[in-house]
Amino acid sequence: MTDEKPLIEIERRITGGDFQSAGDVSSELKRILQQIGFPAAFSRRVVIAAYEAEMNVVIHAFRGIFRAWIFPRHIHIEVDDEGPGIPDLELAFQEGYSTAPPHIREMGFGAGYGLSNMKKCSDRLEIDTRVGEGTKVVMDFFLKDS
Amino acid sequence: MAVKIRDLVEPLEATVLVAGDMEREVRGGYCGDLLSDCIAHAVEDSVWVTVQSHPNVIAVAILVGIPCVVVVNNYDVDKETLDRAQKEGITVLRTPLSAFEAVARLSALGIPGKKRREH
Ligand SMILES: Nc1ncnc2c1ncn2[C@@H]1O[C@H](COP(=O)(O)OP(=O)(O)OP(=O)(O)O)[C@@H](O)[C@H]1O
Ligand SMILES: [Mg+2]
């Protein structure tokens, strides 16, 4: 992160297993980014990565905290959860790999594309995970001149 | 010729469960039931044909920029889903047709099946 002061900081709780409010944090982030006036394509990739990270907490973990720092040309997101952790990260990143149980797949989750979507959408992605403790996802997005 | 959301209702034999902006133009179509796949591959301003009807479909539609969701096989749609769609101005249509038939009818209207390649 930079020393620069963010335009906006947000911090929201995410509850594991709560499919009713699942996606709310990302929807709110999308509105904020639109209000600030970020280009649509930039907002889109930020919000998609945020959604996948948010949903991974809802689906796979017990609870988590979503934090975003929005700078004029840079967005920093951290999603920190208490949960089972990820035993094999390389495997988890493979498209199509998912441990989501049947009742979750029925809702359309568990395609196994979440982490890969996050990687494609972000400019930097770091995952710190401890089995039996939890997972922290850190992502950065830089607005480039186009 | 531009196809608007209102133009989809009759060919799909659909019931309008939530009317968003019915004059909005539809530029492509996506069919599928896996949310992450929709996020990865659907293009904005598309109509989304799916069997899914829980509230997260609306969350995904918002993220992708999808203005119209078509629930096939006359599946029940959760009240939560309808409330959320109403709030967000997303049109929800329900059709007795199968996904295959629904896509065929949309295709006959000239709506292309678009796929996103890179973000
Ligand atoms: N926060 C997390 N805590 C524990 N396990 C996780 C977490 N995030 C991902 N995983 C593990 O990594 C796997 C792959 O994650 P990914 O997001 O790519 O797919 P998915 O969540 O299973 O399905 P999709 O995101 O397509 O709905 C998950 O099935 C799960 O086993
Ligand atoms: Mg996921």
Specify if B119 maps to a domain: no
Q: What is the DSSP letter of B113?
A: B
- Which residue reads 């659909």 in tokens? B14
Specify if B49 maps to a domain: yes
| Residue of A43, A104, A107, A109 to mutate when probing chain B, most B C-beta within 10 A | A107
- Domain residues for the domain of B11 are 3-108
What confidence tens digit (pLDDT) does each residue in B36-92 have?
Answer: 899 989 999 999 999 999 999 999 999 999 999 999 999 999 999 999 999 999 999
Specify if A3 maps to a domain: no
From chain B residues 69-98, the ones with a CB under 8 A of any chain A CB are 80, 88
**Tokens found for residue A60:** 């796979």
Q: What is the pTM of this model?
A: 0.90
Domain with residue B13: its CATH number is 3.40.1390.20
Specify if B41 maps to a domain: yes
- Domain residues for the domain of A98 are 8-142
CA A45 to chain B, closest CA, distance in angstroms equals: 7
Ligand 1 surroundings by CB, under 6 angstroms: A 52, 56-57, 59-61, 81, 83-86, 92, 97-100, 109-116, 135; B 35-36
Q: How many domains does chain A have?
A: 1
Query: CA separation (Å) from A119 to A49, A125, B16, B46, B101?
Result: 8, 6, 37, 24, 35
Q: Which ligand is nearest to the CA of A115?
A: 1
Specify if B22 maps to a domain: yes
Domain with residue A88: its CATH number is 3.30.565.10
Predicted interface score ipTM higher than 0.85 = no
